[in-house]
């Protein structure tokens, strides 16, 4: 059954993966190459399937073989995966299971990460604050500072 779950993830078939998980497939099963289904969903950039696995079995996030969203280098990609998890929680059939999923500490940690990334995107642009700090460390002027210096030079030459 586990190999079928791996195949469903690689094929990108979320409904088949849900059916297999509901039938009792092990989300931490390892294939011949030593990878879990979550690894393939993460590696092949399939956020919906990663969300199906995480929401149905949040305990897989404790396993070291399962890739972490926090370790992704691109914050846009992180947001894609986090939005997919939110959509999967909303897809759950009843309010009790939605509340259980939201109250799970692992899922709530991911929701907090999503809130941080959304805040950064709204206020600074993706990775904007990090880029500004790097420029300041290198001694370069930020765009805002360069424009201010240019205005100051122009006003001084006019006098």
pLDDT tens digits for range 100-148: 766 778 778 888 888 887 777 666 554 556 666 666 666 655 677 778 8
Give the CA angle between residues 51, 125, 143 to the nearest 5°: 160
CA dist 116 and 80 (Å) reads 14
Q: Is the pTM higher than 0.85? A: no
pLDDT at 1: 47
Q: Residue 13 — pLDDT band, cuts 50, 70, 90?
A: very high
Count how many Cα atoms sit within 13 Å of the Cα of residue 34 in the half-sphere of its side chain.
2
Annotated domain spans of the chain: 2-126
Q: Residue 53 — pLDDT band, cuts 50, 70, 90?
A: very high
Instruction: Specify whether domain 2-126 bears CATH 1.25.40.
Output: yes
Whether 51 and 9 have beta carbons less than 8 Å apart is answered as no
Sign of CA dihedral 98, 36, 46, 122: positive
Q: What percent of the chain has pLDDT over 70?
A: 80
**Average pLDDT value over all residues in the chain:** 80
């Amino acid at each position: 059954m586990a190999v079928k779950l791996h195949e469903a993830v690689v094929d990108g078939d979320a409904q088949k993966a849900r059916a297999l998980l509901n039938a009792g497939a092990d989300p931490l099963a390892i294939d011949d190459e030593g990878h879990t289904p979550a690894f393939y969903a993460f590696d092949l950039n399939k956020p919906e399937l990663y969300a199906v696995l995480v929401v149905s079995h949040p305990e897989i996030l404790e396993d070291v073989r399962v890739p972490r969203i926090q370790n992704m280098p691109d914050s846009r990609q992180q947001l894609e995966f986090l939005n997919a998890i939110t959509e999967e929680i909303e897809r759950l059939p009843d309010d009790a299971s939605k509340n259980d999923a939201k109250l799970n500490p692992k899922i709530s940690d991911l929701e907090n990460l999503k809130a941080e990334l959304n805040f950064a995107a709204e206020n600074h642009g993706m990775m904007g604050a990090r880029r500004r700090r790097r420029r300041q460390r290198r001694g370069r002027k930020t765009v805002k500072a360069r424009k201010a210096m240019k205005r100051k030079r122009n006003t001084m030459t006019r006098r």
